[in-house]
Amino acid sequence: MRAFESSSPHPLVYLQLLIGMSLFGSTTPISKIVSEAFPVFTASLMRMTIAAIALAPFMAPHLKELRLAKRRDWLVIALIAMVGMVGFTSTMLFGMRLTTGVIGATVMSSTPAVTALAAVVFLGSAMNWRKAGALGLAVVGVVAINLMRDMSGEDGGQAVILGAALVGLAVCFETAYTLLSKLLSDEVSSLAVTFAATLMAMPAFALLALLIDPNPFDISGASAADWSAVLFWGAATGALAPVIWYTGVRQAPGPLAASFMAVMPLSALVLSYILLGETFRWAHLVGFGAVFAGVLLMVWEHASSGHEHRT
């Protein structure tokens, strides 16, 4: 009976997984809108502030976790704040200023493959043909979409490639976030870690804004659409997406949760066309299709691992 129940979650769980991954996917095009409207580190500080405010109502049951967290946990949370919050957000914004939404979505779609490689290198995870294939397809897809951009006459020059490289660095920071989270004690929830790391990142972004932004804290030129983007970026992708996603994950079988990884890159690609008004080109399907095939391989890998653990 338990096995049947675990394989048949409530329909709300499917909706939570779908919404969570869709919101994560929206990060790429929203980052481009925000990066063009606000100074980078000022925008990042606003994102952390909005996310902290949005997360605060959910934190009451989790405050005890932070009070009882070990010194090692706090060190890991600090690293997550610097790498997963400051590093990821900064490189993502600078990268999306330079590259296109489609290229950014393609590069970000390589996250599962890069995470799998990092787990092999740093955590001793076993390499197999699915992980190797996913990584190879990710590399082929990212290279192909940049080469075909030049062949199709799209503008942007080397700046677009530099932007793609910065988004690739953001992928590495996101991967580090994932691996670091595995070092935390089981008693500390993902929600508590996200909230604490968000608070830690805020003073860092404030200092970076003062030192680096050309006009720190200058938000006078932002339009209503720009404000809508930054509010969504902070509240939806920075706060609600983790809450919705992890709530669903805890109630879903591993293979089911893994299958929803495919929603994130599709969300990023579709929203790049809708929100950024980018022109669809058949060449996009070649590069993105290769990376997305790699994502499907990683979905298969997670599903296979989940089946092996159950048996």
Q: How far is CA 291 from CA 2, 17, 73, 142, 208, in A?
A: 36, 21, 34, 7, 34
Dig out the tokens for 73 from the structure: 């946990």
Give residues with Cβ within 8 angstroms of 163, minimum separation 6: 94, 95, 96, 97, 98, 99, 103, 104
Residues of the chain with pLDDT under 70: 1-8, 149-157, 254-255, 305-311
Q: Supply the pLDDT for residue 147.
A: 74
Q: What is the pLDDT of residue 287?
A: 87
Mean pLDDT for all residues in the chain: 86
- DSSP codes joined into one string, 228-265: HHHHHIIIIIIIIHHHHHHHHHTTS-HHHHHHGGGHHH
Residue 68 DSSP symbol: T
Q: Where are the alpha helices (DSSP H) in 260-310?
A: 263-276, 282-310
Residue type, 197: A
Look at the block and give the residue holding tokens 């490289």.
165
What is the predicted pLDDT for the residue at 119?
86
- Rounded to two decimals, the pTM is 0.85
Q: Would you state the pLDDT for residue 213?
A: 95
